[in-house]
A = this chain, B = another copy of it.
Amino acid sequence: MSFKPLGDRVLVNPLAKEEMSKGGIVLPDTVKEKPQEGKVIAVGVGKFDDGTLVPMEVKVGQTVMFSKYGPTEIKVDGEEMYVLSESDILGVIE
């Protein structure tokens, strides 16, 4: 089974804590930490803005950092993944 995101959505495989870069979004101690970095598994074709298709910036295989309020959690082949709009991705980690 594979999942092809629609529009400007991106499928992200969240990184386990030990795999993460020495980065990440700073969270207060009281917040249950959730992975906020992930590997891009699939990207949509982009979104139409004023009748023009805006191309996607992120590419499959990149590691991205994103805000925790953006993603919808889904299961693909039993594995937990995130679907989020490209506009919820803060940047790419290289």
A interface: dominant SS: strand
A7 at the interface (CB under 8 A from B): yes
Q: Please give, as numbers and ranges, the residues of chain B lying within 8 Å of A50 by CB-CB distance.
A: 49-52
A31 on interface, CB distance cutoff 8 Å: no
Q: Does A65 contact B (CB under 8 A)?
A: yes
Q: Does A94 contact B (CB under 8 A)?
A: yes
Chain A: interface residue count, which band? 35 or more
Most buried by B among A5, A9, A91: A91
Which parts of A1-26 form the interface with B (CB within 8 Å)? Answer: 1-7, 9, 11, 21-26
Q: A24-B74, A25-B72, A42-B91 are in contact. List 10 more A-B contacts (CB 8 A).
A: A1-B21, A3-B23, A4-B94, A6-B91, A9-B90, A23-B76, A24-B75, A26-B73, A26-B80, A50-B50
The 10 closest A-B pairs by CB, nearest first: A51-B52, A26-B73, A50-B50, A5-B91, A50-B51, A4-B92, A48-B54, A83-B90, A2-B94, A22-B78
